[in-house]
Amino acid sequence: MLTPEEIRANISVLEERIAAACKRAGRARESVTLIAVTKTFPAAAAEAAIAAGIYDLGENRVQEARDKIPQVHGPARWHLIGHLQSNKAKDAAKIFDVVQTVDSVELARKISRNATSTRTVLIEVNIGREDQKAGVDPDHAARLVDEARKMPNLDVRGLMTIPPVESDVRRHFSTLRALRDGLGLTELSMGMTADFEVAIEEGSTMVRVGRAIFGARG
């Protein structure tokens, strides 16, 4: 694991890059939330990010988050950004403040039923229509949003995606933004370490960055 000083320095560089991307897009820096992806990193890494001013943290697996979050002291908003299995939805509803990977009515219903208070959710869209990836088909996103909006304890705020590797990510990001706008939503979670600047230029309001903050995973 990098030292807290190294993590702080990486975040400083990242902030400069985010600000520059926002400037190119004619947007305010405040319009983009940086989510530090702490998956596979220890609680100490999450605490170093919080100490450096990053309060939105992302985890991929429910079990890992269940073990890690109680060890992290300091204010944080926890995002589930990995695929959510149906049998883990009950726990996810209790552990996470934001669930970014809702891709079915069944998942939405389970989160709604088990949440103890309102949970922010994003609908994950399989923007590249890849067979091996989770996410609702873009053509079915509107129905899922409409159904989830009717459920108690859910605040449906936007869309999330992971574009195909080595694809024209700008085109995919632009397509998701148009879909978001057509559905009257506000949030767009798209962009990771390799492509977050393009995502910001195309309207992303949440970028999910791990490697550029914490270094390579073991």
Give the chain's domain count.
1
Higher-confidence residue of 74 and 148: namely: 148
What pLDDT band is residue 166 in, cutting at 50, 70 and 90?
confident
CB–CB of 104/144 below 8 Å?
yes
CB–CB of 18/36 below 8 Å?
no
What is d(CA 151, CA 15) in angstroms, rounded to the nearest whole number? 36
Task: For 183-212, give one letter per residue: b (16+ CB within 10 A) or e.
Answer: bebebbbbbbeebbbbbbbbbbbbbbbbeb
Instruction: Give every CB contact of residue 26 below 8 A, 6+ residues apart in sequence.
Output: none
Q: What DSSP character marks residue 128?
A: T
What is d(CA 194, CA 90) in angstroms, rounded to the nearest whole number? 32
What pLDDT band is residue 74 in, cutting at 50, 70 and 90?
confident
Quick one: average pLDDT of 82-93? 96
Is 153 buried (19+), middle (13-18) or exposed (0-12) by CB count in 10 A?
Answer: middle
Instruction: Give every CB contact of residue 107 below 8 A, 6+ residues apart in sequence.
Output: 84, 86, 89
Residue 218: its pLDDT value, please? 64
Residue 167, domain CATH: 3.20.20.10
Cα separations in angstroms, 189 against 87, 107, 146, 176, 214: 24, 19, 19, 10, 20
What is d(CA 182, CA 175) in angstroms, rounded to the nearest whole number? 11
Which range (66-70, 105-109, 130-134, 193-197) has the least confidence? Answer: 130-134
What pLDDT band is residue 201 in, cutting at 50, 70 and 90?
very high
Cα separations in angstroms, 8 against 169, 208, 215: 29, 17, 12
What is d(CA 211, CA 214) in angstroms, rounded to the nearest whole number? 5
Residue 152: its pLDDT value, please? 97
CB–CB of 59/81 below 8 Å?
yes
What range does the domain containing 26 cover?
A: 4-214
Whole-number mean pLDDT of the chain? 96
